[in-house]
Amino acid sequence: MKKLKDLVRPSIRNLKPYSSARDEFQGDASVFLDANENPYNKPYNRYPDPLQRQLKARISELKEVAADSIFLGNGSDEAIDLLIRAFCEPVTDNILSIDPSYGMYEVSANVNNVPFRKVKLDKNFDLDADRLLKEVDEHTKIIFLCSPNNPSGNNLNRQEIYKVLDRFTGIVVIDEAYIDFSSLPSFTTELRKYPRMVILQTLSKAFGAAAIRLGMAFAAPEIIAILNKIKYPYNINLLTQEKALELLADVAPVKKQIARILSERNTLESTMHQIPCVQDIYPTDANFILIKVTDANATYDFLVKEGIIVRNRNTVTLCNDCLRITIGTPKENNKLLEALNKMPV
Ligand code: PMP
């Protein structure tokens, strides 16, 4: 394992972070005249807590992760970008990931001018750690894995993930955006054992709150401290912090929704087997299913005409003639099944 100070970009290691009014005074007072805020229009006149302490305390309880091991971002997309900016020197350092997977790792790498290497998964969309690790060189700073993976929906083989965690000396990011739909547990219980692992989760999927933009990164406190140092001072607005606290106050309704979505997923999977244009249904641990059809472009166009929008993944690696379909309500899913049944083969 490399020392964190040798992984972080020198400019970030030496950076003196911005110190906001709310950083400099954190106690209670009756008169606040320190942040050039308008004294009227409460509570929106005040800057929000830059470190979102109340929200992190609740997430800490729910996820059983210490508060200083939690970073909150404007979606997990913010954490992806900040990790790249913290660890990868443009042009010189590189990032490694799997193919196919979530597109933002590559886009963020490109935005930051950091070379991005990807290793094709096998035909079952599974990871071969040896093949992945062969692509590592002395400038590889981050490996992005996604499990359950997008667009395939499967969990990557855990033994192979452990091989990557055990052998790679840089940062291993495991994107768990879909973990709440998965039969396998989160890697958060392994944070102590792997101090260079970063786990990404989000309120955008199982918690039904994509609109409020709240992503979570769980990692060793020294990694979280680096992300906090380079983030925008008030990256999570007050409305999002309040709404997230409200959503997380009682997770029972969310658990019920997850159960409903999983049951619908089972129904969809078994019914789709009988549909003529469906050639293959890939195993999924997420809230979507990847299917292979006889002609993805024609099926996509046909579904659009029926008023149903799915994701055409035809041009994605290993996804020739594949559509990615999110699990909807029973009514929406029935509409999809009826339409697919009408699709001429
Ligand atoms: N990771 C994966 C694997 C995703 O599929 C998505 C969204 N499609 C994200 C992260 C982004 O999540 P957020 O809304 O938290 O930015």
Task: Give 344's pLDDT tier (boundaries 50, 70, 90).
Answer: confident
CA-nearest residue for atom 2, ligand 1, is 177
Q: Specify the ligand 1 atom closest to the Cα of 203.
A: 15
The count of other CB atoms within 10 Å of the CB of residue 261 is 21
- Rounded CA-CA distance 116/113 in Å is 9
Please report which residue ranges of the chain form alpha helices under DSSP H. 4-7, 10-13, 21-24, 53-63, 76-87, 104-111, 129-133, 158-167, 221-230, 238-249, 252-272, 296-305, 330-342
Tell me how far the alpha carbon of residue 224 lies from the centroid of ligand 1, in angstroms: 19
Nearest CA to ligand 1 atom 8: 102
Segment 151-167 shows an average pLDDT of: 98
Q: pLDDT for 148-157, tens place per residue?
A: 999 999 999 9
pLDDT of res. 173: 98
Prediction pTM value: 0.97
Rounded Cα–Cα distance for residues 337 and 340 (Å):
5
pLDDT of residue 27: 87
231-257 tens-digit pLDDT: 999 999 999 999 999 999 999 999 999
pLDDT of residue 337: 97
* pLDDT reported for residue 64: 98
> What sign has the CA pseudo-torsion 69, 75, 76, 82?
negative
CA distance 288 to 38: 46
Alpha carbon nearest to ligand 1 atom 13, residue = 75
- Ligand 1 center to 72 CA (angstroms): 14
Query: Which residue among 74, 204, 236 is best mutated to probe the pocket of ligand 1, counting the most ligand atoms within 8 A of its Cβ?
Result: 204
- Give residue 202 CA to ligand 1 midpoint distance, Å: 7
Q: What is the pLDDT of residues 52-66, one digit of tens each?
A: 999 999 999 999 999
How many beta carbons lie within 10 A of that of residue 234, not counting itself?
14
Determine the straight-line distance between the first and last CA of the chain, rounded to whole angstroms. Answer: 54
User: What's the CA-to-centroid distance between 54 and ligand 1, angstroms?
Assistant: 24
Task: State in Å: Cα 103 to ligand 1 middle.
Answer: 9
